[in-house]
Amino acid sequence: MRAIQSAPELYAHAIAIEREAAARYAELARRMADQGSEAVADVFSALARMETEHLQALERRAAGIALPEIAATQYQWFDNGAPETAAHEWLFRLMSARQALAIALQAEKRAQAFFEGVMLTAPDAELRALAREMAREENEHIEMVLRLVERTPEPVVDWASVYETSARPR
């Protein structure tokens, strides 16, 4: 991707990043609640609210500014298919709470790296300051997710037991 040269470009990318994060966190919250991982679901719900608030704030700040179009797929966390596709559903059925957190952590790190990259390449101090503010927000999310990763054990599946149970005649 070429270097961001203006505030409208940065806002367009930030809005796309926040929109995807808000949608995915809300989806992950629902999935974790369905799996009985209430603590993780609560954190994902809080992150979805935070991302939605950031999105709304960015949209207010960018109101009246002509923003460039950003491809919806540019910041997708998961597959390129619609959320209703079998692959998407399959992914969620197999995903543990810790794996969902790992996906969220990587997405937050990518967003932070993007904004830090803008800080390093922006042509003016005002744009660098805006990127720095956005990178700081992403860092807060990274820290929040990291704390939860540390408290969330990796599930241990006893596949032999699962196989044995499923192989019994009924």
pLDDT in tens, 115-162: 999 999 999 999 999 999 999 999 999 998 998 888 887 766 555 665
Judge whether 85 lies within some domain.
Answer: yes
Contact 105, 145 (CB under 8 A): yes
Domain total for the chain?
1
Judge whether 2 lies within some domain.
Answer: no
Contact 50, 111 (CB under 8 A): no
Judge whether 143 lies within some domain.
Answer: yes
Please count the other Cβ atoms lying within 10 Å of the Cβ belonging to residue 83. Answer: 12
- CATH code of residue 46: 1.20.1260.10
Domain span holding position 96: 7-167
Judge whether 44 lies within some domain.
Answer: yes
Judge whether 82 lies within some domain.
Answer: yes
The pLDDT of residue 61 is: 92
Tell me the residue ranges of DSSP E strands in 10-132.
Answer: none
Global confidence as pTM: 0.79
Amino acid, single-letter form, for residue 162: V
Judge whether 114 lies within some domain.
Answer: yes
Dihedral class, residue 22 (left if φ above 0, else alpha if ψ from -120 to 50, else beta): alpha
